[in-house]
């Protein structure tokens, strides 16, 4: 028998400290008249980029960029137009050069999708992964997802 996985538990929006609202667009629909699966990646991107690129969050020092290396999406419910979505994001784990974000898309109180995204800090000159700075680590710790025990990797070294 398999043990319950992360996707077996319905997410709770309040567990995600960073939130932003977006619109469901008519162009997001597929022939089934619901939001196409590829659009969810855009919703998740909006959440991540809004967080990392806001200068007040201190996550994008000059000369660095974030690149996504993995996105794992679990589709949970249909989304339809018109409407709005609330995007939630929380830090699940910090690595030496990476951060793992847990993300959700909610509409009308229902979780439509959840995802885990792995993003790596890139040196824009060398185009190579680079260790997270102490400032970035401190600033990311403020966005720790509730319930993410042991999120900060002690062996980052």
What mean pLDDT comes out for the span 135-152?
85
User: Using CA atoms, how far apart are residues 157 and 139, in angstroms rounded to an integer?
Assistant: 18
pLDDT for 153 equals 54
Mean pLDDT of the chain: 91
pLDDT at 156 over 70: no
| pLDDT per position as a tens digit, 75-99 | 999 999 999 999 999 999 999 999 9
Rg (CA), the chain: 16
What is the average per-residue pLDDT within 35-43? Answer: 97
- Whether the CB-CB separation of 132 and 94 falls below 8 Å is answered with yes
- 54 or 4, higher pLDDT: 54
């Amino acid at each position: 028998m398999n043990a319950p996985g992360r996707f077996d538990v319905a997410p709770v929006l309040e567990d995600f400290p960073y939130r932003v609202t977006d619109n469901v667009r008519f162009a997001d629909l597929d022939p089934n008249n619901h939001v196409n699966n590829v659009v969810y990646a855009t919703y998740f991107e909006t959440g991540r980029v809004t967080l990392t690129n806001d200068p007040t969050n201190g996550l994008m020092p000059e000369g660095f960029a974030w690149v996504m290396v993995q996105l794992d999406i679990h589709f949970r419910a249909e989304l339809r137009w018109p409407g709005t979505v609330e995007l939630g994001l929380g830090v699940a784990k910090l690595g030496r050069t990476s951060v793992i974000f847990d993300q959700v898309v909610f509409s009308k109180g229902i979780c439509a999708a959840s995802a885990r995204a792995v993003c790596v800090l890139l040196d824009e000159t060398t185009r190579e992964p680079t260790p997270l700075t102490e400032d970035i680590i401190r600033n990311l710790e403020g966005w720790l997802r509730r319930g993410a025990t042991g999120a900060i990797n002690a062996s980052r070294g």
